[in-house]
Structure 1
Amino acid sequence: MNDSALRIVWIYPDLLSTYGDQGNALILERRARLRGIPTEIVHVHSSDAVPVEGDVYLLGGGEDRPQILAARRLIADGGLKRAAERGAAVLAICAGYQIIGETFGDDKDNPIAGVGLLDIRSGRGDRRAVGELVADVDPALGVPRITGFENHQGRTQLGPGTTPLSRTVVGVGNGDGFEGGYAGHVVGSYLHGPALPRNPGLADLLLRWTVGEIPPLPPGWGERLREERLAAAIG
């Protein structure tokens, strides 16, 4: 974190904001400010250079063609990869999750080069995954059970350099019994909802990675939303 404020970088809202994933930036800012942490959100459009000095980088979902364009521009720019290499936190959702991997499939399942932040490879499954998703997070991360909404046809294989983010309880996720993946401070997931408003523990994980230990907050609407969604999905 720099001396003035926690910098949350929202990448390519003009290409990767199909499912309201900007809510991840808003809730991360909110939970930081509730703890007295000065915060700013930086919107980086696809015509802009990605700043290297950010603290948390967020990518959202998008359709096939914007996804390919976003991947090509991020590779050419190089800022996101340099930021991740110096230890910045990254949360990438759905199309963004696939983009930060080694390759992903286009609408014909031809492989497209990704940014290479995670050792994962994504292709297209036979059927689209649509609906509520519930998963148990890797205990090493200290995050309770997560919930979200998935809407994708992707199937993602993790290589040895990436750990599954969570084990699927309800839904499809990666397609192999797991959902998402992470390595270091880089996390990818198929969870919309958006993910951080539904899962305050995941938001706080990103904050801990960035600013160190943080005081707990009293339960609020985020926790109530999570419990309501879990109850609805599991029954």
Structure 2
Amino acid sequence: MTDTSSALRIVWIYPDLLSTYGDQGNALVLKRRAELRGIRTEMVHVLSSDPVPTQGDVYLLGGGEDRPQILAAQRLRADGGLKRAAEAGAAVFAVCAGYQIIGESFGDDADNPLPGVGILDIRSGRGETRAVGEIVADIAPELGGGRITGFENHQGRTHLGPSARPLSTTVAGIGNDGQTEGAYQGQVLGTYLHGPALPRNPALADMLISWRVGQIAPLEPSWGERLHEERLAAALNS
């Protein structure tokens, strides 16, 4: 049963550093799909100069260039709020640069390893080639299955440790390593998918909502589902 007694608190982290590809669209779609079900929401924007609140329900991080990524990781580690929230059971959805920095380590522009926030058992470095283009992947069956789509633009290669599981297996594109895309650990989830990811994959948005409020009612198919099918068809037929 859906709990609508309190607001779903959506925390958008560091839009001044991590919003290169319009990933704030993830926050907007999450808010909209919750409210269509009668779930009240509260949107919190946290700038890099602000402390990260620990009482949020879903924390969102977007993509960024190398230097802002390094600064974001440094500030998140020093602040500690995101890690405390994740340890308390909050959901985290991180994209591209955000995905890399919530791991144990990531590479700078010279591929020197730098410490991450440490809430996802992954380690990222730089590959020999850049992954650019549409990506299609099949979500892990234990998460409900289904196919996801997005746009990737990164040189990262990500390796999963024993505590993390792949979010999906790649059908087209590179993702982590040409075989898997993204990772999850408990309610912490990371992906290389831009587009933004949640507008293109409304089922992922619904999964994040359900992690925090319990079972949710399905919505009538609308533009989100149509966009999902259109982008899947375009990617697979290109």
Residue in 2 aligned with 1:95?
97
1:40, distance to aligned residue in structure 2 (A): 1.3
2:234 aligned counterpart, secondary structure:
helix
Q: In 1, are the aligned partners of 2:4 and 2:40 still within 8 Å (CA)?
A: no
Task: With the length of structure 2 as denominator, give the TM-score of the two structures.
Answer: 0.97
1:83 corresponds to 2:85: yes
For 1:173, give the aligned amino acid.
G
Residues 195, 181 of structure 1: CA spacing in aligned structure 2 closer, same or farther, 3 A cutoff? same
1:118 aligned counterpart, secondary structure:
coil
Q: In 1, are the aligned partners of 2:4 and 2:38 still within 8 Å (CA)?
A: no
Q: Distance in 2 between matches of 1:208 and 1:51?
A: 21
Q: Distance in 1 between matches of 2:223 and 2:110?
A: 41
Residue in 2 aligned with 1:28?
30
Q: In 2, are the aligned partners of 1:143 and 1:205 still within 8 Å (CA)?
A: no
Q: Distance in 2 between matches of 1:170 and 1:17?
A: 25
For 2:182, give the aligned amino acid.
G
Within-5 A mapping of 1:125-164: 125-164=127-166
1:229, distance to aligned residue in structure 2 (A): 0.4
Identity among equivalent positions (%) equals 75
1:107 corresponds to 2:109: yes
Within-5 A mapping of 1:165-204: 165-204=167-206
- From 50, 53, 61, the equivalent of 2:52 is 50
Q: RMSD over aligned Cα, in angstroms?
A: 1.0
Residues 3, 53 of structure 1: CA spacing in aligned structure 2 closer, same or farther, 3 A cutoff? farther
1:51 aligned counterpart, secondary structure:
coil
Residue in 2 aligned with 1:221?
223
Q: Distance in 2 between matches of 1:4 and 1:51?
A: 17
Say how many residue pairs are matched.
Answer: 235
1:175, distance to aligned residue in structure 2 (A): 1.1
Q: Distance in 2 between matches of 1:207 and 1:2?
A: 11
Runs of 4 or more, structure 1, over 2 Å off, are 1-4
Task: With the length of structure 1 as denominator, give the TM-score of the two structures.
Answer: 0.98
1:18, distance to aligned residue in structure 2 (A): 0.4
Structure 2 residue runs without a partner (length 5+)? none
For 1:137, give the aligned amino acid.
I
Residues 36, 6 of structure 1: CA spacing in aligned structure 2 closer, same or farther, 3 A cutoff? same
Q: In 1, are the aligned partners of 2:175 and 2:181 still within 8 Å (CA)?
A: yes
1:144, distance to aligned residue in structure 2 (A): 1.6
